[in-house]
């Protein structure tokens, strides 16, 4: 999704801005731009559609000490140079903007009456004209931005520069993340700290309503009431190691293979000899778990599928669990049962719908809020009572992989903690917990064994390259695994893929089956295996081609109509975490065969910070 970088320094900041944009590329975007106040105190604006590398090619000779830059993910107006940010108002003021301005129509009409000429279809352009207008009325840049944001409805993260004040960079935030990076006699702004890795370790996170006046040696922050405020200085733990490809062709492939390490780190310090420890989840964890009689989980995309798997675990353990997509949850009425723990799941911690759902939940009487998140410095973490981190490490590929499996690991640990209260006194460890804990310990090795199937999966992937559709089947906790498998395939290979609970086949989707519709199934050896086998027979009887990941003892074997890859026996609770891995690899190799942009699939963004 859109990314912002801004800089004010005594050196030429163009390379910093371009490098920052490259570091934000993983978020997804379709155009990019830069505006620098040059030596003649003029705004030098360069914008291009496509990659930051294309922008860099047209930035030769752009030099200055002050500037803002942006990667845009189109919402209002198609991806085009004239819609790319920064936007200027007659080259007096330049603005970069993340978010959506809801009252842009009204503002646009009023500004046209005032004589402003529009050169884009974006909602953003009204912001820059409004700031310009306020400056024309005699306000300085800070006051003009303060007046402007008071007139905006919607969400924004803003970076603003003006040729009339060449020693000031302004940042403003409401509903869209923005931070100030602190350097030595130079300062920066960014929507994501990863943009600033080489130039700043220290940073301050702006809160909603904050406006920062940034110079080379000073940062002043004013809250929504215009009062000067202090924000904590934090130290970033991000490093370049995490963004090296390390010999892999794609981040997605690297991240699939990193799952053994990511799960090991997620378990680290959280397991005792035969139990899940609660203390590492934080001082408040015990009280929050004690108070949780049932749980409600809200998330989007892959994180939603993690929640959907976990629902089977919670309910198996006697804990009522409802799961809902954030964008639906936030627009309906709710009846909240006392003692409900509100859980959000998000890799990025910046997904707008999930954030908005949490905001809404806070006013609805939930007992506590807990988030499961991969990014320590994220908005969701700051807004939640308790966070359990997935220590997956930075995930760059748009298609989520290691974040998903580590979310599942955390959810299983949470389910065990709550189960202990449900089946016992909250302290006593029983055989079932012991068994699951041992299985969790061996999970990284089990994943390693599944990764060894990669050559067979490469052979399987060849059957999908020229297909236009695919069906994914699973039962029980593996139904959401099938959904996650289908999401992976559609995201990166652009093949239309749908997932069904296998028992639903005969209620409709069976009509789709023919030799052009590959059917992928996950078949662990559980109590639903025989039912699933019958469903697969229904496919086979109609000429469908089967691609099955099955337990070694499932009795399923390869033949003319079915390609079966065997997975070693695994504990039923752990199985969903293991069985998603071959589906990730399958999608990856299909996409590789198709030559798509695997890490940055078309139209998608890593971090969905708009509605």
Binding site for ligand M6R (CB under 6 A): 300-303, 346-348, 351, 354, 398-400, 487, 491, 608
Q: Which residues contact 504 (CB under 8 A, 6 or more apart)?
A: none
Residue 216 or 347 having the CB closest to ligand M6R: 347
- How many residues does the structure list for the chain? 611
Shortest spacing between CB 492 and ligand M6R, in angstroms: 9
From the number of C-beta atoms within 10 Å of its C-beta (0-12, 13-18, 19+), residue 498 rates as middle
> Contact, 156 vs 107, CB < 8 A?
no
Residue 66 or 370 having the CB closest to ligand M6R: 370
d(CA 484, CA 580): 8
* Bridge partners, residue 189, by sequence: 6, 180
What tokens were used for 72?
Answer: 């845009």
What are the angstrom distances between the C-alpha of 422 and each of 230, 317, 369, 388, 512?
44, 8, 20, 21, 44
> Contact, 439 vs 297, CB < 8 A?
no
Sheet holding 211-214, edge to edge: 87-89, 93-98, 156-162, 165-174, 211-214, 219-222, 228-229
In the block, which residue shows the tokens 């949850």? 329
> Contact, 204 vs 182, CB < 8 A?
yes
Shortest spacing between CB 355 and ligand M6R, in angstroms: 9
Shortest spacing between CB 400 and ligand M6R, in angstroms: 4
Q: Which residues contact 200 (CB under 8 A, 6 or more apart)?
A: 181, 182, 183, 187, 188, 236
d(CA 414, CA 440): 13
- Local structure of 445: helix, strand or coil: helix
What tokens were used for 98?
Answer: 């993340």
Shortest spacing between CB 608 and ligand M6R, in angstroms: 5
Shortest spacing between CB 251 and ligand M6R, in angstroms: 12
- Local structure of 81: helix, strand or coil: helix
Residue number closest to ligand M6R, CB atom: 301
Shortest spacing between CB 283 and ligand M6R, in angstroms: 26
In terms of DSSP H, where are the helices of 8-120?
Answer: 14-24, 52-57, 104-113
Shortest spacing between CB 392 and ligand M6R, in angstroms: 11
d(CA 37, CA 68): 9
Burial 52-86 (b: 16+ CB within 10 A, else e): beebbeebeebbbbbbbbbbbbbeebeebebbbbb
Shortest spacing between CB 562 and ligand M6R, in angstroms: 28
Active-site positions read 2, 606
Shortest spacing between CB 166 and ligand M6R, in angstroms: 38
Shortest spacing between CB 599 and ligand M6R, in angstroms: 11
**Phi and psi at residue 232, in whole multiples of 5°?**
-60, 145
From the number of C-beta atoms within 10 Å of its C-beta (0-12, 13-18, 19+), residue 435 rates as middle
Which of 596, 366, 603 has its CA nearest to residue 495?
Answer: 596
Please give the sequence-ordered ranges of beta strands (E in DSSP) within 130-268, or none if there are none: 156-162, 165-174, 179-182, 187-190, 202-205, 211-214, 219-222, 228-229, 234-235
Shortest spacing between CB 334 and ligand M6R, in angstroms: 20
Shortest spacing between CB 304 and ligand M6R, in angstroms: 7
Residue 48 or 348 having the CB closest to ligand M6R: 348
d(CA 6, CA 157): 12
**Phi and psi at residue 55, in whole multiples of 5°?**
-60, -45
d(CA 373, CA 381): 7
> Contact, 482 vs 474, CB < 8 A?
yes
């Amino acid at each position: 999704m859109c990314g912002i970088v801004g800089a004010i320094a005594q050196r030429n900041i163009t390379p910093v801005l371009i490098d920052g944009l490259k570091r934000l590329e993983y978020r997804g975007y379709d155009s990019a731009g830069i505006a620098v106040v040059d030596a003649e105190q003029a705004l030098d604006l360069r914008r291009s559609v496509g990659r930051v590398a294309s922008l860099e090619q047209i930035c030769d000779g752009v030099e200055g000490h002050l500037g803002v830059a942006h990667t845009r993910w189109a919402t209002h107006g198609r991806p085009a140079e004239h819609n790319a940010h920064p936007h200027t108002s007659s080259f007096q003021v330049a603005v970069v903007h993340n978010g959506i301005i809801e009252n842009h129509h009204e503002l646009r009409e009023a500004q046209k009456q005032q004589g402003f000429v529009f050169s884009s279809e974006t909602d953003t352009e009204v912001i820059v004209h409004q700031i310009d207008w306020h400056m024309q009325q005699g306000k300085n840049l800070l006051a003009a931005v303060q007046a402007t944001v008071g007139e905006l409805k919607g969400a924004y993260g803003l970076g603003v520069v003006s040729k009339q004040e060449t020693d000031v960079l302004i940042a403003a935030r409401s509903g869209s993340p923005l931070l100030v990076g602190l350097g030595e006699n130079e300062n920066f702004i960014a929507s994501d700290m990863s943009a600033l890795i080489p130039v700043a370790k220290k940073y301050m996170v702006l809160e909603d309503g904050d406006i920062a006046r940034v110079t080379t040696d000073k940062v002043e922050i004013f809250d929504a009431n215009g009062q000067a405020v202090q924000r904590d200085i934090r130290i970033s733990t991000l490093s370049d190691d995490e963004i090296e490809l390390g010999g892999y062709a794609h981040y997605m492939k690297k991240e699939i293979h990193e799952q053994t390490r990511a799960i090991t780190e997620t378990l680290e310090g959280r397991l005792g000899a035969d139990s899940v420890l609660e203390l590492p989840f934080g001082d408040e964890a015990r009280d929050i778990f004690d108070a949780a009689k049932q749980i409600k989980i809200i998330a989007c995309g892959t994180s939603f599928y993690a929640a959907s798997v976990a629902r089977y675990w919670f309910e198996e353990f006697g804990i009522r669990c409802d799961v809902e997509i954030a964008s639906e949850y936030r627009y309906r009425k709710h009846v909240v049962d006392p003692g409900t723990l509100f859980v959000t799941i998000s890799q990025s911690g910046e997904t707008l719908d999930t954030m908005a759902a949490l905001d809404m939940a806070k006013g609805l009487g939930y007992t506590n809020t807990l988030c499961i998140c991969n990014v320590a410095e994220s908005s969701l973490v700051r807004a939640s009572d308790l966070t359990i981190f997935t220590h997956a490490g930075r995930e760059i590929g748009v298609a989520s992989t290691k974040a998903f499996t580590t979310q599942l690991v955390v959810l299983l640990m949470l389910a065990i903690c709550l189960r202990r209260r449900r089946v016992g006194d909250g302290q006593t460890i029983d055989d079932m917990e012991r068994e699951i804990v041992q299985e969790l310990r061996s999970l990284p090795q089990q994943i390693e064994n599944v990764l060894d199937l990669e050559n067979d999966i490469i052979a399987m992937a060849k059957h999908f390259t020229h297909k236009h559709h695919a069906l994914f089947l699973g039962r029980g906790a593996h139904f959401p695994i099938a959904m996650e498998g289908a999401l992976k395939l559609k995201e990166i290979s652009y093949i239309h893929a749908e997932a069904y609970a296998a028992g639903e086949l005969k209620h409709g989707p069976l009509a789709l089956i023919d030799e052009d519709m590959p059917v992928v199934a996950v078949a662990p050896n559980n109590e639903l295996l025989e039912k699933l086998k019958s469903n697969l027979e229904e496919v086979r009887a109609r000429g469908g081609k089967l691609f099955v990941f099955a337990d070694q003892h499932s009795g399923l074997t390869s033949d003319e109509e079915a390609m079966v890859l065997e997975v070693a026996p695994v504990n039923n609770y752990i199985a969903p975490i293991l069985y998603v891995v071959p589906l990730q690899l399958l999608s990856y190799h299909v996409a590789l065969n198709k030559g798509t942009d695997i890490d940055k699939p078309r139209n998608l963004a890593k971090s969905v910070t708009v509605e």
